[in-house]
Every structure is written in C-alpha cells, then in structure tokens.
Chains A and B, each alone.
Chain A
Amino acid sequence: MKREDGIVLVDKHLCIGCRYCMMACPYAARSFVHENLNNQKEHMPRGKGTVEACTMCAHRVDKGKTPACVEAVGIDSVIFGDLYDVNSKINQVLKKIQSTQIRADLNLNTGVRYSGI
C-alpha cells in the first residue's frame, strides 16, 4: 500500500506470503520472513510468513524524524525528503547533481534516486 507521502509499505495483515511481489520486483528489494520471530519492536512488528521491505522508517518519519540510515550516515550521502517540495533539500540537490533510478528503462518513476553509479 502506498501512503499519502509516497512511502510503500506491505500490509502485514493482508499479505498471504505468495511471494509473487518478490518475483516481480526489479530491484530484489523485498524479503520473506523465513524464521520464527522474537524481540518484536512495538513500532514495527514483523510477520513470519509474510513479505517485507525497507519501510523508510515510516514510524520515525511520522514523528518528524529522518530514517535511521540518514541519521547514522550524518553527512549528505543519503538525503531524505519530499521530492515534490521545491524547497526541500532533496529537490534542491537533485537539481544540481546528476542522478538516476535503478532500472530507469522500466519507467517506474521510483522515489529513490542514485548518483555516482
């Protein structure tokens, strides 16, 4: 399911674990929960037998924070923000730096852009 802000999440209550999304994903971005789980995080419980992917730390974004990887890296190697907001940092940077999408040939207009590949 796609949220208003563009983040795509797997609905863990609907996923039946058929894994066709994994077959179809051009980025090998999804993974299947193969094992029993313990020490579940309250803010983002996982589900055995369902498919999951990077959530862009939606639980942090909802609190106005940035995803954990962005915070951990610190410098501007990973930038998170609203692509459509002309004042956002990511929008500004993408205007200056050449960037690309993975498998841009598939015309999927992904929200993640890379530069330097």
Chain B
Amino acid sequence: MNIRYEQIQGRSLGFYTLIAGLAILILVALGSVYFMEHNGHYLTGMSNRVVWGVPHVFALFLIVAASGALNIASIASVFQKKLYKPLSRLSGLVSLALLAGGLMVLVLDLGRPDRLIVAMTEYNFKSIFAWNIILYNGFFVIVCVYLWMMFERRMNKFSSKVGLAAFTWRLILTTGTGSIFGFLVARQAYDAVIMAPMFIIMSFAFGLSFFILILMASYKWSERPLGDMIINRLGNLLGVFVAAVMYFVAIKHLGSIYLAENTSIENFILFDGGIYTKLFWYGQITLGSIIPMVLIYHPTTKGNRSMLGLSSVLVIIGGLIQLYVIIIGGQAYPMELFPGKEILEGYGGIAIYTPSFTEILLGIGGVAVALIIVTFLIKFLPFLPDNLANNTNVSPCYKE
C-alpha cells in the first residue's frame, strides 16, 4: 500500500500568525540571552549553590522529549507495526526539532556560549557531559540519514536498518542524559543508576505527548482526515508510558529511602521541602500523572480527542515540573560535606532559588524553536500523509 505524503499549504492567516507568534517568542528569548550574557549570570536566580536553573529544566526536558519522539518511527521500522509507518517521517522531524530547541537553550545558558566550538573540539572523556555532546551530534546525523532513507524511494529498503541504528543510538543518548545526574556521586539527590532508565521512560512519555499534540494540531489545521484508530492507539500508549514513569519514580524514591544516608534528602523532596514537596505531589504526581491517566482510561473521557490533547499538555507540564524537582530541588538540598558530623554554621542550609524572567523566557524560546522548525518543514517537505483516516490503513496487528 502506498502512502501519499504532501506538504501543507501554509498560506492561511493562521499559519502566518503561528509563525509570527513563535518568532516573537524566539526574539524575546534571544533578547533575554543578550541581557544575561552582557550583564552576567547574577541577573538570573542561579548562584554558586543552585548552578543549574530553569534553562536546564527546559533544555533537558526538550532533549529527553526529543529522543522519545523518535519512538513512533522506531515502532514502525524496528518493531514492524505497520499502523505507525505513515507517522515515521513526522516522528523523525519532531525529534530533531525538539533536540534543536533543547540544545539551543543549553548552549545559550553557558557562561561562554561563544566558545561552543571549544566544546565540540576539546573532549574530556572522563566526563559524561562531554560524551553527551557526541551523543547529541550523532543523533542529529543518524536521524537526518534516517529521514533521507524514508524520503528517497530508492533508499527505502535501508530504512529499517538505519531505524534500528537510530533506535539504539537514542537509547544510549537518553542513558547518557540520565547519567549526567546518575554519575553525580557526591549529591545524595542524584547518585543512582536508576536515573538512566528512568530518563528513558520519561522520554517515552514526554516525546509522545509532543508528538500527539503536533499530529492532532497539524491535521486539524490543515483539514486532513485523522482516524480514531491511530489517535486511540497513541492515547493508550501514552497512558502506559505515564504509568511506567510513575513506577520508576516510585522505585527511585523507595530505593533511596531504604538507604539511611538518603533519608534526609528524601524527606526533603517528599515531605518537608516546601515548594519542592508541593511541586512533586501536586504538580508531578497529581497534575502530570494521575489526571492524564484518568482522562485517558476513564470510560467517560476515553477516546475523546480534546481530553487526549489535555492529557498530553498535562504530561508536558508535569514533565517540566518533574525536571524542576529533580534539578533545582536536588541542588537546593545541601550536600553531605561531613558525613556523620553536624554543621553548626556556614555551608549547610537549604539554598534559595527564585527563577528570573530571563531564564523562563529563554526556556520558552527553546520550545518555540522546536515548534517553528516543525511548522516550517512540514510546509516545505512532504512529512505528513495526506490522509490518515481509519480505512486507509490495514489492521494495526498486521505486520509487514
């Protein structure tokens, strides 16, 4: 069966309004970067105690989501599920766009973003952070080749092999991203190998949420048919991923509580950490996990597109909150500098962090970059099938 891919027209007022809106967000982000770099990072909420702030929350969220957005293509090419095949090109595109947005935020928050070339040429292979630079660049190359295999008819026969390579690379990439935290042995909040698989499962949920929203929006706005079969399948998949994230979060905290040395940091995050505790229970768990799962599985809302869209938005918000709790909460709690001793004064309190507007605007700019890339490229290249109605596809159980 042939799938017909076609560019969107992209001549409507809505299209130009979207582009203009995103462009403004990006310009505002660049302006705040200029302000921040010109005056120095003291303008932000970051300090020598909380060294990574909101930019890192957005950057890591987008990077993690990027690797997850590729899953749809992987399900088609690696696991041979034909239902997902028409979505593969978009999956690759969303993945590249999210990665570009995330990396932009990460790079523009550097103390010396002008030295990016140094980061690309001088490697300290003992640092997982350096390894990640190679993993990100490699991901760009592999996914671009993968898209080429999918676009070029003569190359189609290689697409499943390149798809397997991309799938393997993305697993290694998210392992690397999770290990950025997992390898921080001195910080009680991070030092745990479970960070790597937890980040992988987080990527599944965050990436799929973005993909669902972009898919539904682009089909609605370009007035192309989008069948319930695909949407319901993606919704079910999202529910399973959200549940899996909750499982990993539970295991991470339970495993950490069991170690007596981590009791205090776990108490801080789960019970008496003020804003971080509230964000964890109300934001990450209730808003970002339980409500989306109820919306996806409850008989009254099941199969409702608006509710699936809302669930995806909530998973994204919950994911950002989860990274906020991990990154900022983990740093706010003091490191154990003198195990077994009590610190009477000096280092040792809970660090205060108040995110500044410049940081938040930079983070939002990263999301805008990802969305503008998708919006432009679906206009200029045939990423979207012209018809995704139920009857245009064979049974979801059918294997190629």
Contacts and interface: CB of A to CB of B under 8 A. Distances in A.
A34 B51 contact: no
A16 B41 contact: no
A51 interface: yes
A22 B49 CA distance: 9
Interface residues of A, number: 31
Interface stretch (A23-31, A55-63, A73-81): A23-31
B120 to A, nearest CB: 10
Contact of B42 (A23, A28, A35): A35
A23 B110 contact: no
Contacts of A65: none
B338 interface: yes
Nearest to B129: A20
Contacts of B11: none
Contact of B119 (A16, A49, A102): A16
B180 interface: yes
A49 B37 contact: yes
Contacts of B2: none
A26 B186 contact: yes
Contacts of A26: 185-186, 335, 337
Interface of A is mostly: loop
Contacts of A32: 41, 48, 51, 111
A31 B111 CA distance: 12
Contacts of A28: 48-49, 335, 337, 347
A102 B337 contact: yes
Contact of B127 (A19, A20, A34): A20
B122 A14 contact: yes
Contacts of B40: 33-36, 48-49
A18 B127 CA distance: 12
B298 interface: no
Given A19-B51, A28-B335, A117 B341 contact: yes
Contact of A50 (B112, B180, B331): B112
Interface in A1-56: 14-20, 22-28, 30-36, 47-51
Interface string A68-90: 00000000000000000000000
Contacts of B116: 16
B187 interface: yes
B154 interface: no
Given A14-B122, A19-B52, A36 B111 contact: no
A52 to B, nearest CB: 11
Contacts of B331: 23
B112 A34 contact: no
Contacts of B48: 22, 28, 30-32
Contacts of A49: 37, 40-41, 110-112
Given A14-B122, A18-B119, A117-B341, 13 more contacts: A17-B110, A17-B111, A17-B115, A18-B129, A19-B51, A20-B180, A26-B185, A33-B40, A34-B47, A35-B40, A36-B39, A47-B112, A105-B339
25 contacts: A14-B115, A14-B122, A15-B111, A15-B112, A15-B115, A16-B110, A16-B112, A17-B111, A17-B112, A23-B52, A23-B184, A23-B331, A24-B186, A25-B186, A26-B186, A27-B337, A28-B337, A30-B48, A32-B41, A32-B48, A33-B111, A34-B41, A49-B112, A50-B112, A51-B111
7 smallest CB-CB distances across A and B, nearest first, come from A17-B111, A49-B111, A26-B186, A34-B42, A19-B51, A35-B40, A22-B51
Interface of B: 37, 39-42, 46-49, 51-52, 110-113, 115-116, 118-119, 122, 127, 129, 180, 183-187, 331, 335-339, 341, 347
